Amino acid sequence: MKAMAIKIGYKAPRHSYQQSYTIEDNILKLKEAFPELIEVISKKDIANYMGITLRSLNRVLMKLNEKIIK
């Protein structure tokens, strides 16, 4: 029971932040903290961490790449 309470204590702030901001903002924050994030960690793992689908992650990454190119 104590281990579960500790796990929830770590997850709660992350989930509340992710619910408060858009997926784009969350990805930009992760990329700022970890510049090589996409190259090191699989997209599926990043999507699971963020609580979104792989399809949503790919859609947002494409949108961000288009903004960078323009």
Is the model's pTM score more than 0.75? no
Q: Which domain holds residue 59?
A: 2-69
Count structural domains, the chain.
1
Higher pLDDT, 36 or 8: 36
**Mean pLDDT for the chain?**
81
Of 1-5, 38-42, 61-65, minimum mean pLDDT range: 1-5
| CB burial readout 17-45, b (16+ within 10 A) else e | ebeeeebeebbeebeeeeeeeeeeeeeee
- Predicted pLDDT at 39: 85
* Model confidence pLDDT, tens digit, residues 31-55: 888 888 888 889 999 888 888 899 9
